[in-house]
Amino acid sequence: MSLSMYQASVPVFIQKLEALSKILAKAAAHAEARQIDPAVLINDRLAPDMLPLSRQVQIAADSALRGGARLANVEFPSNPDTETTFAELQERLGKTVAFLNGLSADQIDGGEERAVVMKMRDSEMTFTGQSFLLNFILPNFYFHITAAYLILRHNGVELGKRDYLGGA
């Protein structure tokens, strides 16, 4: 049996976003237990030219939401990127998972060769559906999930590989 485009996208996005939600919950508990202002963690980054935790979470959510929508050839909601608390980041993850749960295999499967066009600030990128998923969205999605994990791990939040893998 072959792996479908849907199976390689939506369930993967949902599992990792749910794992990220649990990671953020551990970070919030860590901050509370150690009397650390949560903003310290939310605004932290691993390098001066790196985006902070809040943006890593926002981009991970957007990668899944926009990626799933583009694969399904449907419009996606816009998010204003205003989250500054763990609760707001959790809400964003929840809305993203709800959106993804609304996508069906029928919308995505068979779209391996469908053109996916991404408009950038000053250019466009065109992919096939399969290339978009495997070579752009999944690597980008995992990059930002990993960056969020590493920022929190670097700050002493007790996380391990099982936290990152989630329900794997």
Confidence of residue 120 (pLDDT cuts 50, 70, 90): confident
Q: Please give the Cα distance from 59 to 77 (Å, whole number).
A: 14
Q: Please give the Cα distance from 51 to 103 (Å, whole number).
A: 29
Confidence of residue 2 (pLDDT cuts 50, 70, 90): confident
**The predicted structure's pLDDT at residue 34:** 97
Question: Are the beta carbons of 164 and 60 closer than 8 angstroms?
Answer: no
The string of pLDDT tens digits covering residues 63-118 is: 999 999 999 999 999 999 999 999 999 999 999 999 999 999 999 999 999 999 99
Mean model confidence pLDDT for the chain: 96
**The predicted structure's pLDDT at residue 111:** 94
Q: Coil, helix or strand for 63?
A: helix
**The predicted structure's pLDDT at residue 128:** 97
The string of pLDDT tens digits covering residues 9-55 is: 999 999 999 999 999 999 999 999 999 999 999 999 999 999 999 99
Cβ neighbours for 160, distance < 8 A, ≥ 6 positions apart: none
Buried/exposed code over 60-70 (b: 16+ C-beta within 10 A; e: otherwise): bbbbbbbbbbb
* pTM for the model: 0.96
Instruction: Find out if CATH 1.20.120.450 is the number for domain 10-160.
Output: yes
**The predicted structure's pLDDT at residue 168:** 58
Whether pLDDT at 1 is above 70: no
Question: Are the beta carbons of 21 and 93 closer than 8 angstroms?
Answer: yes
Q: Domain residue spans in the chain? A: 10-160
Whether pLDDT at 155 is above 90: yes
CA contacts within 13 A on the Cβ side of 70: 24
